A and B are shown apart, each in its own frame.
Chain A
Amino acid sequence: MTTASSVLIIGGASDIGRATALIYAGHGWKVTLAGRNLAECGRIADDIAVRSGQRPDVVELDVLRTDRFTAFVEAFPEAPDTIVCAAGLLGDQARDQCDPNRAAVTLRSNFEGPALLLGAFASAMAARGHGVIVGISSVAGERGRASNYVYGAAKAGFSAFLSGLRHSLVRQGVCVITVKPGFVRTKMTAQMTLPRGLTAEPAEVARAIFKADQAKRPGSLYVRPVWRPIMTIIRMLPEPVFLRMRL
């Protein structure tokens, strides 16, 4: 009898993180939720306990407190089999672009914090010789747009970091997966009117993550296939055309 696999969800109170945790718990994995709001993480842990019969552990984590990362990683007797990073912050483009302090929080929450934390776990996974790292990035990182380029730039940085991490760990048994979900109906987008066919439910993103984990195929994926042609076009648009568009 082998022991259950373990998964750490960073940003455990996020809607995508919650859905992901539920799928792993349903498959018998031991789940740990890490987040800065312990009450919210606990509320989700209770929910998962009723639905799956297994209560996840809850640990405190603020991805902006990079000074605590080493201690956070060392507190795990062994690195989890899988880490999913669902922490992120949309920010407010209009305010971020006139307030450097606010912009810094958006940049750090989506890039610096998640990247450094995953980097800190990566060496432990590499030393052990196996592991899966899933980073939730965004299509917003593929080309900076007027409507959200602070968030987009941070996600671009995160995607580049994940790509490099994937490249560096691929021969050490660690699989790094970048997930670009497109629009997802979550509390992050609750104020936005989202286009129907392009918008995924959190559970759909979670299924895609679990499936990619099982397949252990390093790479980058869109949750809904329609995003591939859309983003290809957006990336390929010549700059003069792009500059005339409102996106």
Chain B
Amino acid sequence: MRADLAGWGRYPRHSGDVVTPHSAAALRAVQAGLDPYVARGAGRAYGDAGVGLEATVSMRALDRMRAFDSVNGLLTVEAGVTLEEIINVLLPRGWFAPAVPGTRFVTVGGMVAADVHGKNHHRTGGFGAHVASLALLTPQGELLTCSRSENSALFHATIGGMGLTGAIVEATLRMIPVETGWIRQRTVATKNLDSTLAALAKAEAEATYSVAWIDVTPGRRPVGRGVVFTGEHVLAAELPQGRQVFPRGRRSRVSIPVDLPEGILNRWSVGAFNRLYHGRAALLGNADLVPWDAYFFPLDAIGDWNRMYGRGGFLQHQCVVPAAAGREVVAEILDRVAAAGCAPFLAVLKSLGAGVGDMSFPMPGLTLALDLRVTAQTLRLLDELDRVVVAAGGRLYLAKDARQSPDTFRAGYLGLTRFETLRREIGAAGRLASQMSSRLAIQ
């Protein structure tokens, strides 16, 4: 079927063929006849990673849970199963996912392919670190088991490999035991970038989950004031009487029904939001018990929130830079964004550890993410920011990218040569391609 496809940012859009196989056998049969294609999960990557160059294989119908070993917490699922389903099924039995992105509407295939990181990356690594094994359908039609001991090169290329080594059909994951579905959240309001970084470093040393949110209101000096959030799983004994131990996830009650006019998220409305938020955090300060969905997935409460940015779509710029350069790069980026006057809605800062895949985004250092509406001005600004990132030895997250240049990409991803060699060996070069891999000239 022909369809118009884009990522979560709704920029860029491409039209292409979409097929939806309903079993591994059907997938194998259909992929043999496809032109350059890539697998797609829930389409939550922001840019063009989940859009095939010619064809796109939707993995959503491979959505069976296969087995759960409740002694070791090992869950085997098909790649189209979503994080939401996993939490709904396993949290009531006392298990949670070892790493989660900021939305639960993603598939297991997508989380593996992007080696997604959560607020605990500095502690326990990303999603890939908790994958015990994968079943991968190579472009030659072989269904291979990949793990740290079997086909390990392919395993490490597939984690973070953005679908470019084949279609992940199944994955076996190590879940973590939890006693409740509640998180104890602490918030610290900070005055400037140095105090934010200091509070974040302290939070990371002490807490399981940590992240900083930075106020990017144009004209606000000094830049970098913000709120640092930490979180801990609440133990059963700590839960006040009368609370449901495993609260059910709430689906969005409100949603953005239409594309908002482009001007609504302007510098004043964002600034007002930021002032409110900072003020609230300064008041709260102390600990707060929050249900898992509100803590990990606050944006899931608003359906289709990507429409807030209007028809033209939006971009997320997420970079990571080595720890040593971290402070300077973040300061420079915040300065340039403030000077440009196009206020992002979100600016999120945290530390990452190493990733497990050859093409994984995380490296030990600081990561900063900004959401911006697509305009010519934004595109120019982001090119400037890329130069800052590259000079510091950093890179951009492929799951968020829709516009970086092949040079920026090559400078950041040092595992690329090995990745491309492996792609030639398994017959992926020329057969597996997304709009992103073509844009970035990945062979």
Contacts and interface: CB of A to CB of B under 8 A. Distances in A.
Contact of A190 (B20, B65, B68, B75): B20
B66 A47 contact: yes
B29 interface: no
A43 interface: yes
A50 B61 contact: no
B22 interface: yes
B1 A50 contact: no
Given A187-B61, A191-B1, A50 B67 contact: yes
Interface in A42-100: 43-44, 46-47, 49-51
Contacts of B64: 43-44, 46-47
A51 B65 contact: yes
A46 B1 contact: no
- Determine which residue in B61, B64, B67 has the highest number of CB atoms from chain A within 10 A of its CB, and name it: B64
Given A51-B89, A187-B61, A46 B67 contact: yes
Interface string B12-29: 000000001011000000
B20 to A, nearest CB: 6
Interface residues of B, number: 12
Contacts of A191: 1
Nearest to A50: B65
Contact of A43 (B20, B23, B68): B23
A40 B20 CA distance: 16
A183 to B, nearest CB: 16
Contacts of B68: 50
Contacts of B61: 187, 190
Interface in B35-92: 61, 64-68, 75, 89
Contacts of A51: 65, 89
Nearest to A43: B64
A187 to B, nearest CB: 5
Contacts of B75: 50
Nearest to B93: A53
Interface residues on A, range: 10 to 19
Contacts, number: 27
A189 to B, nearest CB: 11
Nearest to A40: B23
A50 B23 CA distance: 18
A29 to B, nearest CB: 18
A50 B66 contact: yes
Interface in A186-207: 187, 190-191, 193
Contacts of A46: 64-67
A187 B65 CA distance: 18
Contacts of B67: 46, 49-50
Nearest to A191: B1
A40 B61 CA distance: 13
Given A47-B65, A50-B67, A51-B65, A187 B22 contact: yes
Given A187-B61, A191-B1, A50 B20 contact: no
A46 B81 CA distance: 14
A26 B234 CA distance: 28
Nearest to B75: A50
B97 to A, nearest CB: 15
Contacts of B66: 46-47, 50
B39 to A, nearest CB: 17
A193 B18 CA distance: 12
A50 B67 CA distance: 6
B40 to A, nearest CB: 15
Nearest to A53: B93
A50 B65 CA distance: 6
A149 B270 CA distance: 56
Contacts of A187: 22, 61
B173 to A, nearest CB: 13
A193 B89 CA distance: 31
Given A43-B64, A44-B64, A191-B1, A50 B22 contact: no
A43 B64 CA distance: 7
Interface in B390-415: none
A71 B208 CA distance: 60
Interface in B152-208: none
Contacts of B23: 40, 43
Nearest to B66: A46
B197 to A, nearest CB: 43
A50 B92 CA distance: 13
Nearest to B81: A47
Contacts of A50: 65-68, 75, 89
A20 to B, nearest CB: 16
A38 to B, nearest CB: 13
Contacts of A47: 64-66
Nearest to B26: A187
A193 B4 CA distance: 13
Nearest to B3: A193
Contacts of A43: 23, 64
A213 B67 CA distance: 30
Contacts of A44: 64
A185 B23 CA distance: 16
Contacts of B1: 191, 193
Contacts of B89: 50-51
B323 to A, nearest CB: 41
A49 B69 CA distance: 12
Nearest to B85: A51
The 5 closest A-B pairs by CB, nearest first: A50-B65, A47-B64, A50-B68, A47-B65, A187-B22
9 contacts: A43-B64, A46-B65, A46-B66, A47-B66, A49-B67, A51-B65, A51-B89, A190-B61, A191-B1
Given A49-B67, A193-B1, 18 more contacts: A40-B23, A43-B23, A43-B64, A44-B64, A46-B64, A46-B65, A47-B64, A47-B65, A47-B66, A50-B67, A50-B89, A51-B65, A51-B89, A187-B22, A187-B61, A190-B20, A190-B22, A190-B61
